[in-house]
Structure formats: C-alpha cells, structure tokens
Amino acid sequence: MPKKIYVGMSGGVDSSVTAALLKEQGYDVTGVYMKNWSQDLPGFTCPWKEDYQDAKRVAVQLGIDFKMYDFETEYRQRVVDYMVAGYQAGITPNPDIMCNQEVKFKLFLQAALEDGADLIATGHYARISSLESLVSSSPLKTRDSRLATNVGLFTGLDSNKDQSYFLYRVTEPALAKSLMPLGELKKPQVRQLAKKFGLATAEKKDSQGICFVGKVGIKDFLLAELGPGLPGAIVDPAGVTIGEHDGALFYTIGQRHGLDVGGGLPYYVVGKDMAKNEVYVTTDLQDSRLWSKALRLTSLHWINQPPLAGQSYQVRTRYRAPLIGCRVNEVAAASDRLDVSLDDDVRAITPGQSAVIYDGQRVVGGGIVI
C-alpha cells in the first residue's frame, strides 16, 4: 500500500507542483489548505478565499482528496501576537520562521498524522536527507563525528530560492516525517513542470510581503493592529534632533527609506531607544553602529547537535544575506545564550532577526539576535 502523504497546498505554484510530483511518484496524496488568516485590512482584501479555490482546483485536476484545516486561532496566538509583541518591544521578529516552527511543522504535522497520514510534504526549497547519505562522502563526517545517521536539513539546490533559513527551528523528528521535493529543483524547472502537468496555478505569481497577509506591508499591518505610533525624535550622531518619526517600533536597524529627513546624504537607522521613543540615525555608512564582527544569540535551536566551539561554520544573519564564516563559543547545555565570532564585519545585524548557522550545506540551527 502506498504511503499516505498530506501536502500543504497554499494555492501557489510551488505547493501545487509538490502535490503533482508526489502523485506521479505513486503516493496516496491528500491536499490540505491551512486557513491561517482571513482578516481584511484597510485598503487590502485578504486573498485566502482565492488561494483556497486555487488549491482546490489543482486538487481536482490531480484527482486527489482535498480538505481544509482551520488554524486561525492558533496562528493568531503563536505567530501574529509573537510578531506584534516583538515590534512593540523594539525588535524585528521574523513571522515566517515562527509559522514554520509552530504551524506547518507542528500543528499541521500533528493534525495530519492524527488524520491517518504517514508523512507531510511542503513546497519549500530545501532538502531533507539522511545524514549518513550526505555525510558519508564529505568532510562533515570527520569534522563532527557526533552526527547520528538520522535526518538533517540541507540547503535547496536553487541558491536563489533556498528557504532553509526559514526552517532552522524545525525539529529533527518533524523533518523525519516530512518531504520537500522541490529542494532538488530550480524555480524555472518548477514552472515548467506546472505547465507540463497543466496546473491551474502554472502562471500564478509568487506571493510577496508578510507570510499571512500577502501584499500588505509590515507598517500597514502594525498600524491596523496597534493604531498610529507615538511621534518622537530622530537624532543624529551629534545628539541633534533632525526630524520626527511616527513611532519607533516601525523602524529597523539599517533602514534607509521612510525617515523623511530631507536634504544631503541619506540617513540610516543605527539604533533606537524605546523608553525614550528616539530613533538614532547616521549618514556614515562606515558608522561602527552599523557594523559588527560578533553576534549574541538567544532562543537557541539545534536540529541535530549543537555546533562545536572553535570549529569553522558559516552564518546567515537574514534571508538572502551572504554566508559569513564564523566560530562559536562553547555551547553550555543549560545556557540559552551563544556568542558567535564573525570572520568579516556584517552590516545591520538586527535584534529579533534570526542568525542561522550552516556546516557546508547542512543547517546546524541558530537563534534570535539580541
């Protein structure tokens, strides 16, 4: 009897092709649309109904079962409230990472298994593979002999679409129950497959913006959630107030646009004080507050084993940022702090964002920047 796979279908081309490929490979496939958010915002209509219908159309085309899981309440509590609270505290959280941790690879996985699935699958551009199969012929085996022969998370073959950064908080047991077929493909191949299968979503554009509200920008969303911010001073390196911001929570380290400080060279955000409600800026791209050769992380998560102190790794400090060589201090078992030394200066390291550590193509894990 073929394995029963529940595919998370968002109504986009990637998850549609994922379902089609698994059906073609002989699996017993069921498509599942996760209803995480349905709230309209001023000037923006939530596209969930359209996405649901697109996913359903593809399921009908493929001749697979289709259902919807409603996670809206849990999503609000675990992802949206987390994000809003982070911004209110003055940091810049990443809701996509929390969505993967709490919804796709926890709530969805649990519900699917309880419903009779053997595995779940998603349209992520990342690879899940046996550590034994990918480590046996590489330097990784000798570099870290602690690695068991279980599954690990690896970068997708398409470096332009690799989404492993967003998946570093998924657990090893969850990965062992998951499939990511697109990790072996490049985006143009996925588009070609969608046309080959004749899928209704073949020409659908990729979604942009916040993971759950599509085209809505983060500032628009926060304004709808929290109302207007409290105006305060924009302060230059000399301590001079040069403008007024519309709420310190709306600004992030390294930000250039949206300051409305006219004339001369552009200004960049280098810090903020939430208690004083002040935003600090500079025109100097070499300002020491914009650059760092060290990271401190909290809320640590390691997929297989913690990194080894003193060994060379690579770290990515935000999605699409280049990998930078790094070394970590000793990872104490009882500690939830980690100091990371970087080989090069990195610009605009932002509290609340995630830093993800890699050992070659393998995702070791990471934490939240403090």
Cα(first)–Cα(last) distance of the chain, in Å?
A: 49
Whether the CB-CB separation of 317 and 295 falls below 8 Å is answered with yes
What whole-number distance in Å separates Cα of residue 191 and Cα of residue 202?
6
> C-alpha angle with apex 168: 17 to 2, nearest 5 degrees?
40
CB 356 within 8 A of CB 369: no
99 is catalytic: yes
In one-letter notation, the amino acid at residue 235 is: V
Catalytic-role residue among 32, 64, 99, 200: 99
Tokens of 300: 């640590």
**Does the active-site annotation cover 46?**
no
Separation CA 225–CA 213 (nearest Å):
13
SS3 content of the chain, % helix, strand, coil (to 5): 30, 30, 40
Classify residue 79 by its DSSP letter.
I
Torsions phi, psi for 296 (to 5 deg)? -125, 130
Q: Alpha-carbon Rg of the chain, whole angstroms?
A: 22
215 contacts 209 by C-beta, under 8 angstroms:
yes
Structure tokens at 185: 């493909």
- Dihedral sign from CA coordinates of 138, 139, 144, 146: positive
| 127 close to 183: Cβ distance less than 8 angstroms | yes
Of the listed 211, 348, 356, 363, which one is catalytic? 211
- The residues annotated with a catalytic role in the active site are 99, 211
